[in-house]
Amino acid sequence: MNRYLIPLLLFVFLSFGSSEKQRDTLLKVIQGLYQDKVYNMAVKKCEEYLEKASPDDPYREKVIKVMFHSLYNSKDKKGFLRYLSYIRGEKISPDTAKEIFALGMKLFENDPVKKAEVVEFFIPFTKGYERDQLEKLLATLYVKGKLWDRILKLPDKKQINIYKVIALYKQGRYKDLINFTRKMSKFLPDDKDSVLYYRGLSFFNLGEKEKAVKEIESVTFKTPQMIKFLASYYLKKKDYIKAQRYLKLLTLEKGFKDYAYYYLGVIEDMSKNYKRAEKYYKKASQFKTEFGTLARKRLKQLEKAGVLGKEVFYTVRIILYKTKEEGKRLIEKRGLKDCFVQKYKKYYGVFCGEFKDKEKAVLLRDKLRKSGFKDAVVDSIIK
């Protein structure tokens, strides 16, 4: 520190009044402290200057700038926010406000809540497009900081309203969310899918599952979370055709493949299509996740049961006999094509056809019934 600085500081502290000479002396002290990087003292002298100088003092704005550069350079985060409040009533130019804003955004780079306070300070100095962008930035910071109530106090603007939807959902205000999103004209076109998604989740949380699915299926570009939601819903509804459609889409999404492959395996497993189930389970088992563990466990169970590598075919069982020979004689006598005899519980059944498609087995069953085998039924065999 300059060797003349301490006596000079004492002089200023004791005698600073309203004269230009005393004011100029304090300005020199502030400048010297800043140049010597004595930032904490520089801030205090800046505050002293602002308290003693008149509101229309020509140097007030310059002193304010020095104050905030000192706070920034000393990394005084608490002081930075405290002095933001301190200068709220000051008449400073938009350029100075922008300079302070830039310093604050750097200082609180990893703190969304504190950054939000810096943005709140700067917004009154902006207008038009710049203000719109800052309000949107403020909304994103509120989301990161989980300041849901503050989001709802922001103005109703298309670029902000999606964040209000998120805030309502996070607060569990599902009915309010549904009412708020009745008109899509309140939102940007790019936000439409997100609005539909949150409407769907809100309906779901209110127990109106059919409405929830309808909303989410209306989404044009579904996120993996949306696809997983629909897959889970149709799994619970036992609508496996629709569930498979969404699960297959999820196999393309990183972070969801284990879930998708496991439940694709479960669907095939329930249909006794063990060969297909094994294929999906093996893919799921490669992941070190909950679903990977479940897949590995199920593979061991299927292996122990001796059904791995086998497939289920649909066939038509037309009659049962006590002996295998009786079944063979019927096939020969009636000239039945593509028919065979196979053990069925305590008896021997005559089966006709092997189909992967159950509908084809149904058509053959109806044909055989018309030909006299009234007890013909569709059955399944494992090979």
The residue among 157 and 22 whose pLDDT is bigger is 157
Q: How confident is the model at residue 9 (pLDDT cuts 50, 70, 90)?
A: very low
**Domain limits, the chain:** 1-92, 231-310, 312-382
Q: Choose among 375, 269, 265: nearest CA to 317.
A: 375
CB neighbours of residue 300 within 10 Å: 12
Q: How many residues does the chain have?
A: 383
Q: Sheet containing 339-344: which strands, arranged edge to edge? A: 339-344, 347-355, 312-321, 377-382
Please tell me the pTM assigned to this model: 0.65
* pLDDT number for residue 381: 84
* Whether 93 contacts 60, CB under 8 Å: no
User: Into which CATH architecture does domain 312-382 fall?
Assistant: 2-Layer Sandwich (3.30)
* pLDDT number for residue 6: 44
Region of poorest pLDDT, from 13-22, 115-124, 252-261, 264-273: 13-22
Which residue do the tokens 């590995």 mark? 296
336 has pLDDT over 60 = yes
231-249 pLDDT, tens digit each: 999 999 999 999 999 999 9
User: Rounded to an integer, what is the distance from CA 178 to the centroid of its chain?
Assistant: 19
7 has pLDDT over 60 = no
* pLDDT number for residue 244: 97
10 has pLDDT over 60 = no
DSSP E strands in the chain: the ranges are 312-321, 339-344, 347-355, 377-382
Determine the average pLDDT of the residues in 85-108.
93
Q: Does domain 231-310 have CATH number 3.90.1720?
A: no
